[in-house]
């Protein structure tokens, strides 16, 4: 969720709204630190902090703050137990930041930064005072290992913007169309490529950029490091050529292709004949793409399967990256 874009949109219609942020979690909780929602005086909201009675009571409190139209900030510490009708058993700290139209210029600036990518703010938080955020440099950022929020010595550090995983999607057929809708609310940035102008819909989700390709292989050769390549064109020969080119790109996350087990065997055989190493194909080529256990061949079901696999792969890479960073930091400390 682009928090500041939501705040800006609400301030178009309302004199004030409240940005709610999960600041800290102890034990089990329905959402992680950094989860956010924006609430107006009429209880309309965007985002979620986990639903249930926790979210219901928070919306009520935030709406009351918004109706007061008074810039301010406060922390709420809550136990997720019987008093809330929840059995998570943990404790959660929430920040409720009331934002009025007086801060419109600041909100507009933060929304523009958010649209451009990731950035971090710091804010001193003597409670009930009007908040003021400062954008901080990487050198002064206290957030570690991708954390989105940290409360330290009465200063709140927050990371905004979406850290997206690039996806190169070749093919705008039925499954391609279903997949861009499945990925719309998820942290992926999709480049959607086809050589047929008429197949693209008039509108696409905000995280999708369409490319009418005169030469899809040129686009495949330009696959950025870290990207997942998904191949589902109308032409099996083109599928093979795209996979062949993409697998030669350094640092890609992998290539996935829709198809039957028969198609998978043929594609693998031809990729081996094209000079690709069997170990590389085992690690980086997936056909049929998507999680196992879904038998339906409905485009939306296939898209759900692929989206689930992409989320699992993204989470796995994030976990591996965090472990490597932690191990490196430990090694540096040991040397020091």
Each domain of the chain, given as residue ranges in start order, spans: 3-160, 165-314
Return the DSSP state at 311: H
Q: What angle do CA 40, 44, 48 make, to 5 degrees?
A: 100
Per-residue model confidence as pLDDT tens digits over 109-147: 999 999 888 999 999 886 556 788 899 986 567 787 778
Q: 292: closest CA among 308, 280, 278?
A: 308
Q: How far is CA 83 from CA 54, 87, 224, in A?
A: 10, 10, 50
- The pLDDT score that the predictor gives to residue 132 is 81
d(CA 157, CA 153): 11
Question: 3-state class of 75 per DSSP?
Answer: strand
Q: Which residues contact 165 (CB under 8 A, 6 or more apart)?
A: 187, 188, 189, 226, 227, 228, 253, 310, 314
- The pLDDT score that the predictor gives to residue 328 is 47
- The pLDDT score that the predictor gives to residue 83 is 67
Per-residue pLDDT, averaged over 17-23, amounts to 98
Please give the CATH architecture assigned to the domain spanning 165-314. 3-Layer(aba) Sandwich (3.40)
Question: 3-state class of 286 per DSSP?
Answer: strand
**Beta pairing class for 155-160 and 165-170:** unpaired
Per-residue model confidence as pLDDT tens digits over 290-323: 999 999 999 999 999 999 999 999 999 888 866 7
- The pLDDT score that the predictor gives to residue 282 is 96
In this predicted structure, the answer to whether residue 327 has a pLDDT above a threshold of 70 is no
Per-residue pLDDT, averaged over 217-222, amounts to 97
Top-confidence residue, 330 or 149: 149
**Rounded mean pLDDT of the chain?**
91
Per-residue model confidence as pLDDT tens digits over 231-281: 999 999 999 999 999 999 999 999 999 999 999 999 999 999 999 999 999
Q: What percent of the chain has pLDDT over 70?
A: 93
Per-residue model confidence as pLDDT tens digits over 50-107: 998 999 999 999 999 999 999 999 999 998 877 677 776 789 999 999 999 999 999 9
Tokens read off for 197: 């102008």
Q: What's CA 247's distance to the chain center, in Å? A: 25
């Amino acid at each position: 969720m682009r928090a500041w874009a939501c705040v800006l949109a609400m301030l178009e219609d309302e004199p004030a709204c409240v940005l709610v942020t999960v600041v800290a979690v102890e034990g089990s909780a329905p959402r992680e630190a950094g989860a956010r929602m924006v609430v107006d005086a009429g209880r309309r909201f965007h985002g979620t902090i986990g639903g249930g009675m926790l979210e219901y009571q928070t919306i009520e409190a935030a709406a009351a703050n918004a109706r007061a139209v008074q810039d301010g900030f406060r922390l709420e510490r809550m136990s997720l137990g019987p008093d809330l009708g929840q059995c998570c058993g943990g404790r959660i700290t929430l920040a409720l930041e009331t934002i009025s139209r007086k801060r419109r210029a600041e909100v507009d600036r933060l929304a523009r930064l958010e649209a451009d990518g990731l950035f971090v703010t710091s804010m001193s938080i003597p409670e009930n005072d009007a908040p003021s955020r400062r954008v901080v440099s990487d050198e002064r950022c206290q957030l570690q290992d991708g954390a989105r929020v940290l409360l330290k010595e009465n200063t709140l550090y927050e990371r905004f913007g979406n850290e997206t995983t690039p996806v190169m999607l070749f093919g705008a057929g039925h499954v391609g169309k279903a997949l861009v809708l499945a990925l719309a609310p998820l942290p992926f940035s999709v480049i959607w490529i086809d050589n047929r102008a008429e197949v693209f819909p008039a509108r696409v989700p905000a995280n999708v950029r369409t490319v009418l390709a005169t030469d899809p292989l040129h686009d495949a050769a330009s696959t950025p490091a870290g990207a997942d390549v998904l191949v589902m064109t109308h032409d099996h020969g083109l599928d093979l050529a795209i996979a062949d080119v993409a697998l030669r790109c350094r640092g890609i996350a992998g290539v996935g292709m829709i198809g039957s087990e028969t198609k998978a065997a043929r594609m693998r055989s031809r990729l081996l004949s094209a000079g690709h190493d069997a170990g590389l194909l085992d690690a980086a080529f997936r056909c049929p793409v998507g999680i196992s256990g879904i038998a339906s061949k409905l485009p939306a079901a296939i898209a759900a399967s692929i989206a689930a696999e992409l989320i699992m792969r993204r989470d796995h890479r994030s976990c591996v990256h965090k472990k490597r960073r932690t191990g490196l930091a430990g090694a540096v400390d040991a040397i020091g």
